[in-house]
Amino acid sequence: MTSPQSVKKAEDRGQLNSVQLNIVTLVNMERATATGSLDGALFMMDNSVGGVGQGTDHLETICKQGQVINWIIRPVEMEKRPDGTWPPMPKITNLVFLDTEKGDEEDVAERRITTELKIYGGPDLMRSPYTPVYYYWAGAVQSTARPGLYHYRFVLELEKDGSKEKLHLNTRNHPSLRILEV
């Protein structure tokens, strides 16, 4: 007879064999644009096994060499408003890995951690209540990336509600990837 713990371990191994991981970030646009900060306005979740910080802005995602990571970002408020307008969308303009080996989390890492990160999708101009709309970036963890913890910084572009004014903000609490050896 199979124990619940062995079933859970088998499920975890299967998840680590997943080709792709999703990191979903919800942004409280109203708070971020009002304060000019992402503090308390980001809520990150992923589908990795064993990561910590679910629902916070300092999520640690467990991944492996060669795995594809999709960073998905959307506002907390997604529904069409009674006045017929849509809420503004957050956009990832850059994702920068930091040089944590030197202990300075503000310097950009010298080595590549993932393949070139870039936007792979964007919201359609015509939204539908039946189709999710969001921006996402994707990249694969380098097969040569050393196992360890790699912090990164989001650079986000937020549009202030009711205007076309753009606000560019960086995360201060740094989320991270924990790369496991294959």
**pLDDT average, residue stretch 37-50:** 94
Q: What is the pLDDT of residue 10?
A: 42
What whole-number distance in Å separates Cα of residue 114 and Cα of residue 43?
Answer: 23
Q: What is the DSSP string of 135-173?
A: EEEEEEBPTTPPSEEEEEEEEEEEEPTTS--EEEEE-SS
Q: What region, left, alpha or beta, does residue 5 occupy, with left being phi > 0 and alpha being psi -120 to 50 degrees?
A: alpha
Q: H/E element holding 71? A: strand 68-75
Lowest mean pLDDT among 1-5, 123-127, 149-153, 178-182: 1-5
Dump pLDDT digits (tens) for 129-169: 666 677 888 889 999 999 999 999 989 999 887 777 899 99
Domain housing 118: 4-180
- Bridge partners of 102, per DSSP, are none
The letter for the amino acid at 13 is R
Percentage of residues of the chain with pLDDT beyond 70: 76
- Report strand pairing: 91-97 vs 118-121: unpaired
Q: Report H helices in 23-174.
A: 29-35
**pLDDT average, residue stretch 105-119:** 72
Counting the structural domains of the chain, the total is: 1
pLDDT at 176 over 70: yes
| CATH code for the domain of 123 | 2.60.40.3910
**pLDDT average, residue stretch 33-41:** 94
Better-predicted residue by pLDDT, 13 or 50: 50
Dump pLDDT digits (tens) for 70-102: 999 999 988 878 888 778 889 998 888 987 655
Contact assessment for residue 147 and residue 30, using Cβ atoms and an 8 Å cutoff:
no
What whole-number distance in Å separates Cα of residue 61 and Cα of residue 149?
Answer: 9
What whole-number distance in Å separates Cα of residue 39 and Cα of residue 156?
Answer: 13
pLDDT at 103 over 80: no
